[in-house]
Chain A
Amino acid sequence: MSSKVLTKPLGDVPVALPPLQRVTLTINGAEKQLEVAPWTSLLDLLREYLDLTGTKKGCDHGQCGACTVLVDGKRINSCLSLAVMQEGKEITTIEGLAKGDQLHPVQEAFIEHDAFQCGYCTPGQICSAVGLINEGHAKTTEDIQELMSGNICRCGAYVGITAAVEQALKVCQSNAQ
């Protein structure tokens, strides 16, 4: 692909591919160097450039939470973030939560509580729950429900999801002690 900017004779509105941008980020512990068009979302970088298809493209507008990943431990909507803006950041996706065969406590809790039906929202739900636990603001079941409201489950598995997050929160808190 050309990295040359083609411009109209008058003005500087790009009419062809603008230069690709180099971006270096750490994804699930491994440093990656990539060249991407400026408009590439973090979500598209993960799915299309790195084949990390666990992170889902639901609405692509920040309304459903299926694309939730962790950036420096905080959960964000990867569909509403440009890949180039994540230069130097540490990204954790659903593929990076387990340690070998040892599942993350949130993953275990989701299985135990059957916290999904079709499973499409689940990677986002799990990453969001890990972020919720890292943030440390959820004290009650109500808090969990409120702080998980950015993740929509159209199958309606909310009862199981809430129970799973509640259990994982307790496990992580006692592991931290």
Chain B
Amino acid sequence: MNSFTYTRAETVDTAIGEIKAHHTAKFIAGGTNILDLMKENVERPDHLVDITRLPLKQIETLPDGGLRLGALVTNADTAYHPEVQKRYPLLSKTILAGASAQLRNMATDGGNLFQRTRCYYFYDTATPCNKREPGSGCSAINGFNRIHAILGTSEHCIATHPSDMAVALAALEATIRVSGPNGERTLAMADFHRLPGDKPQYDNNLEAGEIVTSIDLPANGFANNYNYLKLRDRSSYAFALVSVAAALELEGDTIREARVALGGVAHMPWRKPEAEALLKGQKATKENFRKVAEALLEGAKGFGANTFKIELAPRAIVRALVMATEMKKK
């Protein structure tokens, strides 16, 4: 690990000020990803701003019936929170599908969004990687790419976003509240992360110095019919090869609203509202689910070792939606 200095921030404003006062400063909260990357020499901040003492640790109901998750609530406290379990069981289940109990006790909700890819070449400083070193090339495109993206890739990067939680947040249409040098703003989950394009070094659309203060969930949590299906190489404590967050609002067998977000297939949680709209007013059948799956996978491209995902993903989508349907019939 490289040398760095450290300060502990007591307010959001001082945290933002500290970031601006250094060349390559980073925030640290749970630390589960950034410290790992610092040990690997992938991240080399000159300064760390400890934000764990900021007053962002509450889960509270919003006036519109939604739920606000403070950025510093841990993943474990979120997943086991009674309101989250009752009203947003999809989120609870998704969080518990990720990492280990130890890591979930450390990792924060805000920090989860900032996890960096687990692409082997991003971690291996001996190999070219456009995300780690812009312009150096992508080793994964012609390399070992079993875990890599099949959707929204570019000639510069085929990395995936590793978060489970972000996939459920995309399906639930969460809003991310941020503070920065220019004040506060909110981003829809769909606008938070980005595709690699020709700037894969950027994982998200935040400006320099901005900090996430909360994740706001809308009132509708799809608590009756949902599923998070995570397919991976071992049954616990592994990243997704393909994952599906599915949520349905049913009236008998008829679908009133559907949400489907995918993990493990792109540089960000993959969602297509126009594909979901195909299910509106339709019967909850495998045939209809397959149509949505095909629409979601449109344009998918394999790179060799990950080509199996092009068929695995639609099958996972159908299965996740069938399981969501069978949960509870109104």
Taking Cβ atoms with an 8 Å cutoff, the residues of A that contact B are 5, 11-19, 21, 38-39, 41, 60-62, 65, 68, 74-77, 80-82, 84-85, 87, 128, 131-132, 135, 137, 145-151
A85 touches B28 (CB 8 A): yes
Q: Contact between A85 and B103 (Cβ–Cβ < 8 Å)?
A: no
Q: Which residues of A contact B236 (CB under 8 A)?
A: 145-146, 149
Whether B31 lies near A38 (C-beta < 8 A) is no
Cα-based distance from A81 to B22 in the complex (angstroms): 22
A150 touches B237 (CB 8 A): yes
Whether A65 contacts B100 by the Cβ 8 Å rule is yes
The 4 closest A-B pairs by CB, nearest first: A150-B100, A149-B236, A38-B6, A149-B237
Cα distance, A131 to B46, chains bound together (Å) = 34
Interface range, B side: 20 to 34
Residues of A with C-beta under 8 A to B76:
74, 135
Q: Which residue of A is nearest B46, CB measured?
A: A13
Contacts known (A61-B36, A80-B31, A82-B28); A39 close to B101, Cβ less than 8 A = no
Contacts of B39 in A (CB 8 A): 60-61
**Contact across chains for A85 and B31 when beta carbons are under 8 A apart:** yes
* CB-based contact A5/B6 at 8 Å: no
Q: Enumerate chain A residues within 8 angstroms of B3, measured Cβ to Cβ.
A: 14-18, 39
Determine how close the nearest CB of chain A comes to the CB of B240; give it in whole angstroms.
Answer: 15
A128-B46 contact in complex given A19-B5, A149-B237, C-beta closer than 8 Å: no
The minimal Cβ–Cβ distance linking A92 to chain B, given in whole angstroms, is 14
User: Residue-by-residue, is B4-19 near A (CB-CB < 8 Å gives 1, otherwise 0)?
Assistant: 1110100000000000
Q: In the bound complex, what is the Cα–Cα distance between A133 and B46 (angstroms)?
A: 39
| A11 contact set on B, CB distance < 8 A | 23
Give the distance in Å from the alpha carbon of A12 to the alpha carbon of B6 in the complex: 13
Identify A38's interface contact among B36, B48, B105, CB under 8 A.
Answer: B48
Report A145 CB to chain B, min CB distance, Å: 8
Instruction: Let me know if B32 is at the binding interface, CB within 8 A.
Output: yes
